[in-house]
């Protein structure tokens, strides 16, 4: 990633267009990012397009985090329940042993 960013900045300093520099620098930008760069560069509205792309990326990130949270919450509940069950079993098993060994 660091080498790709360095290659990108070197290309821009040599006068290569931003979109072309991004394409030559490897996988620094996604295909969608390259499209936003190209549109912004050709229309003269690069800051606006980059802002819009950042907002889209942010929405996608929040959607992924929401999905991850939806999967992890039940798993964590099961793990915590298993831990509580294990602790209760360890604490109560000696009591049950004593009760079964008591004379009637």
At 19-61, the pLDDT tens digits run: 888 888 878 888 898 999 999 999 999 999 999 999 999 999 9
For residues 72-90, average pLDDT: 96
State which residues form the domain around 72: 2-101
Q: Band the pLDDT of 104: cuts 50, 70, 90.
A: low
Name the domain count of the chain: 1
Sign of torsion, CA 67 71 73 76?
Answer: negative
Percent of the chain with pLDDT over 70: 99
35: tokens are: 């499209």
- pTM exceeding 0.85: no
85/94 Cα distance (integer angstroms): 15
31: tokens are: 């295909």
């Amino acid at each position: 990633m660091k080498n790709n960013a360095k290659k990108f900045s070197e290309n821009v300093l040599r006068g290569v267009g931003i979109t072309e520099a991004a394409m030559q620098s490897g996988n620094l930008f996604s295909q969608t990012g390259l499209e936003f760069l190209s549109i912004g560069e050709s229309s003269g509205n690069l800051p606006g397009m980059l802002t819009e792309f950042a907002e889209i990326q942010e929405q996608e990130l929040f959607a992924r985090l929401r999905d991850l949270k939806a999967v992890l919450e039940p798993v964590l509940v099961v793990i915590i329940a298993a831990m509580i069950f294990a602790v209760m079993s360890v604490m109560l098993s000696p009591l049950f042993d004593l009760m079964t060994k008591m004379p009637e």
